A and B are shown apart, each in its own frame.
Chain A
């Protein structure tokens, strides 16, 4: 019998959906680098490790300039703040706008459609 971790023992996470408003379109690698630098500047390396932050490559939509990150529920405000503190990528000025915070990808997608 395969041993399975019960759902109650799993770490909870939050998915943040953000849109990038910029002068010129930006790539996923630019966004990821800017995001990681900003998180380290705002929260520090310890904060980054505690927040369990992941930037999801598969869900990056270059057409809509929309991306997803996951973090722990306690660090949502810090991640939002770090995103808001990004004002430039390369030579192009940007705004990172968090459009949704959700517990699952499915519910975030449903809310985005609404």
Chain B
């Protein structure tokens, strides 16, 4: 089985990050900051973009603009209105809610309808202070409850800002299990399914779901 980390926010020292990811047992990384120029990388690297919009309309505009040039489109859910716009936009691949952003049942159902994954970032726990960590994890548990109830797609990501922010699939699986997800769902959340689907869609032969031109 292949394991992917879909949200790596580091933009420096990319070869070292790729090497550490390989040591940790990750088969692929999606870099959301800057252009990934890593020649001879030991790990599969995908080019993603993190949309940090200030207005909900910007989310839709930026997602549509970057769809054809990036393999993964993520939105930073800094506010509830931004998160809502992200789950309403089918072009968005994943929403990364900030530590205190709430996901309600309507948003979770919209995420399921538009196939937008709700990402749970380990770095939000790692970077929070001890007092804040409890509140961040409590909000994550509530959001995970909504995701389970609505059967919305989700991802478990490290959200690493440097090579030492990366975590292995084993630790990310434990994080997912503590959030209340089943082992099978967590393994699926770490799999290469999303990137394979997006790469297929970005290939020249793809027309629409179920229709492909063979070359």
Residues of chain A touching chain B, judged by Cβ–Cβ distance below 8 Å, are 21, 41, 76-78, 80-81, 83-85, 87, 93-99
Contacts and interface: CB of A to CB of B under 8 A. Distances in A.
Interface in B113-145: 122, 125-126, 130, 133
A94 B164 contact: yes
A114 B162 CA distance: 31
B207 interface: no
Contacts of A21: 20, 23-24, 164
18 contacts: A21-B20, A21-B23, A21-B164, A80-B171, A80-B174, A81-B174, A84-B122, A84-B126, A84-B167, A84-B174, A85-B125, A95-B20, A95-B24, A95-B166, A97-B23, A97-B168, A98-B171, A99-B170
B177 interface: yes
Contact of A84 (B20, B23, B175, B177): B175
A83 B23 contact: no
Contacts of B175: 81, 84
Contacts of A96: 171
A78 B171 CA distance: 10
Contacts of B36: none
Given A41-B130, A81-B171, 8 more contacts: A80-B170, A85-B126, A87-B126, A87-B164, A95-B20, A96-B171, A97-B168, A98-B170
B167 A95 contact: yes
Interface of B: 20, 23-24, 122, 125-126, 130, 133, 162, 164-168, 170-171, 174-175, 177-178
Contacts of A95: 20, 24, 164, 166-168
Contacts of B130: 41
A80 to B, nearest CB: 4
Contacts of B20: 21, 95
A91 B114 CA distance: 45
Contact of B171 (A41, A93, A94, A97): A97
**By CB atoms of chain B within 10 A, which of A84, A96, A99 has the most?**
A84
B164 A84 contact: no
A1 to B, nearest CB: 44
A17 B30 CA distance: 28
A111 B177 CA distance: 23
Contacts of B162: 93
Nearest to A97: B168
